[in-house]
Amino acid sequence: MSERAARVEQPDERGDPLVVVDELRSYYESERLLGGKPVKAVDGVSFEIRRGETLGIVGESGCGKTTLGRTLVRLEEATDGTVRYDGTDVTTLSGTELKRWRKNAQLVFQDPTASLNERQTVGAVIREPLEAHSWGDPHSRRERVYDLLELVGLAPEHYYRYPHQFSGGQKQRIGIARALALEPDFLVLDEPVSALDVSVQAKILNLLSDLQAELDLTYLLIAHDLSVVRHVCDRVGVMYLGKLMELGPSEELFSDPANPYTQSLLSAIPKPDPSAPFQRLPLRGTPPSPRDPPSGCVFSTRCPLKIRPDIEGNHDLSRAQWEAIDRFREVLRERDLADVTFVERLRERLGLSTRFTPIPTVAEELLGDVSFPDSVEAALSRAVDRAAEGEVSAARAELADALGGVCEREQPVRHDVGEGHSSRCHRHLEAYADADDVLEGEDGVGGVLEGL
Amino acid sequence: MTGERDQHRNAGRRHLDERSLRERVTANPRPAILWIAGLLALLALELGTIAGVTLEAGSWIGTRTTGLWERGGLSRVALLAVALVGLVGASGRLSAIDRFRVTAGAGVDAEGDSNAAVDADTSESNESRVPNTPRAVDTAVIAALVGTVVVLAIWVGAAGLVRTVGQGTLTWIADLPTLTAREVISNEGYQTPDGTWHGTFLGLSPAVAWALRVVVIYAYALLWVGWVFVGYRWFRTHYRRVEWTPRDDVVDRLRRHRWAQFGMVVVFVFLVMALFAPVLGPTTAEADLYGPYSHTFEYYDQGSGSVEELTVGEANLETRSVGYEAENVGPMSYDEYDRFHPFGTMPDGSDLFTFLVAGARISLVIGLLSVGLSGALATVFALISAYYRGLADLVLVVTGDTVMGVPRLLLLILLTVLLADTWLGGLYDGGILLAVVLAVTGWPYLWRSFRGPALQIAEAEWIDAARGFGQSTTVIMRTHMLPYLVGYLLIYCSMVLGGVILAVAGLSFLGLGITAPTPEWGRAVNLGQDYIATTSWHISLIPGLMITLVVTGFNALGDGVRDAIDPKADDSSSDNASNARGGGV
Ligand code: SF4
């Protein structure tokens, strides 16, 4: 015990990066044989994980956080970019080198039931990594498994039981013991408690942090539960549609989020501290498909702080006007990406009824009650005509040209917004820092992004 | 303080499970001794047969003469070994230890003892010798290997025994009466005019003597099965380290499944028929079918009033069943030479029952061989398909579909005819060729059935976990995928086995495949088809019914195994588990 404590205290080991991720991309090929676009699950993500820290990755489901974790432990192949582990690029390892490296980095799975082979005894499950790496002799392996069982809070007599005989929390302990068998330095925890009862979650999280202190582990914790992340992580990254939107120290990110997406996410949870300085922003709609991410900023389809363009003739549109336009464009977007069969297209051309409401009707419904300046009106009616002819993509392009702003045109770059704190958003540029225009009419407007 | 705790802990661990099987048996020897005693008693009843087989095998190995396989007693032992391997497979995917225990426990023969000790130890030493060998290797290949090793041990042991014990002694032992020998309960004799029977067991009538022998044989076989099951139960309660495994539930469900039990009974009857073929019939296939003119028997000639000797062939000419009253020997009747025919006679005058029991053995050998081959192919291909997907899967799909695209009957006929004159066609009267052809044309059907489940299993997260710590592909397939396929393997193979028996019968019916005079059920149906509407209806009908029954039986067994394996069929298993829940969390 005392040896371990001494190891933890060594200061020189702490702080320098263990894992450096640089412009990592991980795409899934389309299931369709021809013409499908790849799913960009992870699309140009860069960060580093320091020795001994816990880095949290949060985001809605489908944002690519799980793929990111799996790519880091080489369960998924990286499409592009590098992952340096202790200086070595692990994305190019193969064969025995890869096998040797795998000892360093292990994954703890989300669903403990699904990740344990139910036909193996617990002893066999935990022993298997040791056998795969010819670790010691059978006797010492057995001893090691006993030690591991005790380490994760189980008992040696569980050796000859089957996973089926354990509760969810106990199964996750078995999964953790298996991950620890080869004495890794780095663990990717893929939502390790989200499949468990609430009463058990805290116990598993405590176990993980005890293990971290005892074994000097480095964690990447993937979660969608923000409160879990806030309590456990040193730093947190926020992912949306394959991009890292914001990365910063845990406390700072929660108390003073810089990115509109992070703000929206945090707005969704009941605020523990009502005096928190940031503005509550509603998170509307659902994320678009990662197969067709929006151009420019990936969050631009849902962003409440989206930067609006200047309209010809210097008109300022009201919030109601913009919302009507956004809704209409969203319909066009969905219509464009929907799988429309050839016959349906034909029926639409011929003016026959299809499963879709005709675009002019939709436009009438969404835009009819609102009046627009002439230039906007003209752009909208051109788009409606185009869409009615079946050229939905052209209609979308038309509207993007006339009404899309910088958020749709350009990908935001990373801005440093504090000590070790960065965010991707055009709002961090001097020219767009003032968000009053879009927040007009919201309750308690003003000073939203002050201090950025 | 710490030291004390460690000591305590280590003591607890030691007590836990580090004892090898031998140590566990030594700690509580009573059940093991009792069980082995019972086993030896069962073996002793057949000591003569075993000695005979040993002698035969020993001298065969000594002189390297061939041709023993077909009719020798050795085939019985080989079949026993194959059946045991099947039994082992049927008990699900046992871990290495469990499996060896069952194999040894099933008492392959006297050598089973030493095998048990050795094999139980290998579970430990395996780990040091071959680091990547999983504990639970459960491939059919391994099972077959175990079987082969056992058979080899018997053969080599036999040769050694013949050398050391000496041929004379062994011959003497071999001549000892055994429980099931035909001579002990003989049904061959003649009736003198005063109505008494001579030559039969206790002077009983041949019909009663024959029935008695059949009952004794089945009782003996039933004892074996019961004793093996008792061994399994005792092992579970006294020696197994694991107190509960998912397979226990499967066994329990199987025991409650009526339809499966029907299947088991039918399959048991069929297996015993195949194993004990030479002693079950009222006469033997050698005398009646293969060499009727080199075997003689005695009968009482009414005309001369004396006991005469006659060759079987000559007698058979007078006992033919060819469709009219004057020339017909129906079921459960005597012919004019006082020979009893439980199922009547064939058109050539030979005994139908003898023909059928001998045919059971041939059907079983062909069935097991072809299903084993195609099952192994299908399993390996399904694993490859599911694990690699993509191109490998595509190639297999195309190959499989190509084979399935050609009408199977056409392919069967083509291959059997083409290869009939090669060395392969000569083995086992064409039986081996038939088995191989059936396997080659049949694997895509099995593979199709396995591919879906295999694809599903390949998605399992524990496979990702295993890849994550660098487990090798072959081990992943064996330990993490195959165990989940074994159930499907058993289900489909048992169903296909029925189909193969049917196919062999069908081909023989068409005059292909098995050649005369080898007894094959389909040939019997074929031979009798001209007389189906006459008094000699039995020639076609009885074998036809038996084929139907056996095929149904195998299907029932497959259904039962599927229901037993499918956990959704019965959720009560979770109750067992909660009792055994450990502490923590
Ligand atoms: S770049 Fe524009 S759309 Fe993206 S988060 Fe910032 S304000 Fe919103």
Chain segment A191-248, per-residue pLDDT in tens: 999 999 988 999 999 999 999 999 999 999 999 888 889 889 999 999 999 999 999 9
Strands A414-418 and A421-424 come out as antiparallel
Helix B408-419 / helix B482-509 crossing angle, nearest 10 deg: 70
What percentage of chain B reaches a pLDDT higher than 90? 28
Q: For chain A, positions 149-168, list CB contacts with chain B under 8 A.
A: 153-162, 164-167
A98·B582 Cβ contact <8 A: no
Determine if ligand 1 sits within 6 Å of the CB of residue A427.
Answer: yes
d(Cα B226, Cα B234) in Å, to the nearest integer? Answer: 12
User: Is the C-beta atom of A243 inside 6 A of ligand 1?
Assistant: no
**Cβ of A109 and B246 within 8 Å?**
no
CB A437 within 8 A of CB A308: yes
Beta strands in A17-172 (DSSP E): 17-28, 39-50, 54-58, 80-85, 88-89, 105-108
Give the model confidence (pLDDT) of A105-128 as tens digits: 999 999 999 999 988 999 999 999
Q: How many CA atoms lie within 13 A of A75 on its CB side?
A: 24
Q: How far apart are CA B223 and CA A324, in angstroms?
A: 84
H helix runs in B91-129, sequence order: 96-105, 112-129
Contact B585 A155 (CB under 8 A): no
**Residues A290-324, buried b or exposed e (16+ Cβ, 10 A)?**
beebbebbbbbbbbbbbbbeebeeeeebeeebbeb
Would you say the CB of residue A303 lies under 6 angstroms from ligand 1?
Answer: yes
Boundaries of every domain in chain A: 3-255, 314-404
What are the chain B neighbours of A99 within 8 Å (beta carbons)?
470
Chain A residues 313-352 with a CB less than 8 Å from chain B? none
CB contact under 8 A, B244 and A111: no
CB contact at 8 A, A318 and A437: no
Contact residues on chain B for A156, CB-CB shorter than 8 A = 9, 12-13, 16
**Of residues B113 and B276, which shows the higher confidence score?**
B276
Interface of B with A in 441-500 (CB under 8 A): 460-462, 464-472, 475, 479-480, 483-484
pLDDT for residue B98 is more than 80: no
The alpha carbons of chain B give a radius of gyration, in whole angstroms, of 27
- How many contacts (CB atoms, under 8 Å) link A and B? 140
> In Å, how far from its chain's centre is CA B284?
21
| For ligand 1, atom 1: residue with the closest CA | A425
Residues 6+ apart with CB under 8 A from B221: B268, B272, B275, B276
Give the span between the Cα atoms of A369 and A423, in whole angstroms.
38
What is the structure's pLDDT at A373?
A: 80
- The partner residue sitting opposite B246, judged by closest CB among A131, A162, A169, is A162
Closest residue by Cα to residue B561 from B553, B572, B549: B553
Output B86 or B311, whichever has higher pLDDT. Answer: B311
Residue the block writes with tokens 């371990």: A4
Q: Which of A300-314, B111-125, B163-177 has the lowest mean pLDDT?
A: B111-125
- Given CB atoms, is A4 within the 8 Å cutoff of chain B? no
Which amino acid type is present at position B425? G
Q: Are B386 and B572 in contact (CB under 8 A)?
A: no
- Give first-to-last CA distance, chain B, whole Å: 26
The secondary structure of chain B in percent helix, strand, coil, rounded to multiples of 5, reads: 70, 5, 25
- Residue B149: how many CB atoms within 10 A of its CB? 15
B309 forms beta bridges with B298
User: CA angle, A176 as apex, A172 and A182 as ends, to 5°?
Assistant: 155
For the domain A3-255, what is the CATH code?
A: 3.40.50.300
> Tokens at residue B456, please?
């599903």
Q: What pLDDT is attached to residue B513? A: 73
Token readout for B159 is 């040769």
* Length in residues, chain A: 452
Residue with tokens 């945090």: A266
Which positions in chain A touch B124 (Cβ < 8 Å)?
138
Q: Which helix (H) or strand (E) holds B299?
A: strand B296-301
Map tokens 């023993």 to a residue: B68
Contact predicate B272/B264, CB 8 Å? no
CA distances from B262 to B266, B552, B563, B570 (A): 6, 9, 14, 20
Torsion of CA B109, B111, B117, B123, to 10 degrees: -80
Ligand 1 binding pocket includes A406 (Cβ within 6 Å) = no
DSSP string for residues in B541-573: HHHHHHHHHHHHHHHHHHHHHHHHH-GGG--TH
pLDDT tens for B573-583 read 333 333 333 33
Contact B462 A115 (CB under 8 A): yes
As a whole number, mean pLDDT of residues B420-425 equals: 82
Whether A182 has its CB under 8 Å from any CB of chain B: the answer is yes
> Which residues lie across from A57 on neighbouring strands?
A222, A237
Beta carbons of B465 and A200 less than 8 Å apart: no
Q: What is the DSSP letter of B584?
A: -
Query: For a pLDDT cut of 70, what percent of chain B falls above it?
Result: 74
Residue B517 preceded by cis peptide, ω within 30: yes
Q: In this structure, which residue's CA is closest to atom 7 in ligand 1?
A: A306
Q: Give, for A236, the enclosing helix (H) or strand (E).
A: strand A235-240
- Closest CA of chain B from A218, distance in Å: 17
For B22, other C-beta atoms within 10 Å of its C-beta total 12
Q: Minimal Cα distance from A98: which residue of B?
A: B470
pLDDT the model gives residue A56: 95
Per-position b or e across A74-113, b if 16+ CB within 10 A of its CB: bbbebbebbbbbeeeebbebeeeeebebbbbbbbbbbbbb
For the entire predicted model, the pTM comes to 0.75
Which tokens is B182 given? Answer: 């035909």
Strand pairing category for A218-223 and A54-58? parallel
pLDDT at residue B514, rounded to an integer: 80
Q: Which helix (H) or strand (E) holds B212?
A: helix B206-234
Give the Cα separation of B498 and B553 in Å (integer).
Answer: 8
* A305 touches ligand 1 (CB under 6 Å): yes
State the average pLDDT over residues A177-192. Answer: 95
Question: The tokens of A73 are what?
Answer: 């432990």
Q: A269 versus B159: which is more confidently predicted?
A: A269
- Residues B19-77 pLDDT 10s: 777 888 888 888 999 999 999 988 888 877 777 777 776 666 655 434 444 444 555 55
User: In the prediction, which pLDDT does B585 show?
Assistant: 33
Cα separation, B121 vs B104, in Å, equals 13
User: Which residues does B233 contact at the CB level (< 8 Å), separation at least 6?
Assistant: none
Residue among B242, B466, B584 whose CB faces A173 most closely: B584
Which protein residue has the closest C-alpha to ligand 1 atom 3? A300
Once rounded to an integer, what is the mean pLDDT over residues B336-365? 91
C-beta separation of A259 from A227 below 8 A = no
